[in-house]
Structure 1
Amino acid sequence: MTPAAILDVARDGIVTFLKVGGPLMLVALAVGLVVSLVQALTQLQEQTLVYVPKILAVFGALLFLLPFMGDALAGYMARIAARIVAGG
């Protein structure tokens, strides 16, 4: 396997990782920002208040995005398997 092929596989893996993990991280970031803004506006400084909405939002996004995430991971595995079959 040439260094260029190794870099292609690594780049494809990183892009797939960002496709799968990125949307969930963005949902968690948005919910955390909204809850922090509400806390700042109401002067309610409870540290544990962030966790429940964030967990529920990420869980809901996970259920919604699971087909997309599965497709992305299956496509990556198919590309890797095709490279293995082709001999690198």
Structure 2
Amino acid sequence: MDEMIFFDTLRQGLWAAVLISTPILVAALISGIIVGLFQALTSIQEMTLTFVPKLAAILAVFWVSMSFMTSTLTGYFANTLIPIIAGM
């Protein structure tokens, strides 16, 4: 395998990983900021208050974006890895 093919495949794989993880990370960031602001405004320092809403937001976004994640990953495999393995 040529170095250029290897690094291009690695770059495409990392980009697919970024695309797949972006919705979940954005949901965690937004819910964390909202809960942090709520805690700062009300002076409530409960640890479960930060964990439960963030977990709920992550699960909701994961459920909604699961088809996007699956299509991105199968597209990466079908367009990049399978032709390399098959030698096309």
**RMSD, aligned CA:** 1.0
Q: Which amino acid aligns with 1:34?
A: I
Is 1:62 aligned to residue 76 of structure 2? Answer: no
* TM-score in terms of structure 1 length: 0.93
Gaps of 5+ in 2: none
Q: Aligned pair count?
A: 87
Distance 2:71 2:83 in 1: 16
Give the share of equivalent positions with the same residue, in percent.
Answer: 33
The equivalent of 2:82 in structure 1 is 81
The CA deviation at 1:50 is: 0.8
**TM-score, normalized by length of structure 2?**
0.93
**Separation of aligned partners in 1, 2:83 and 2:24:** 29
1:27 aligned partner, one-letter code: A
Give the unaligned 5+ runs of structure 1.
none
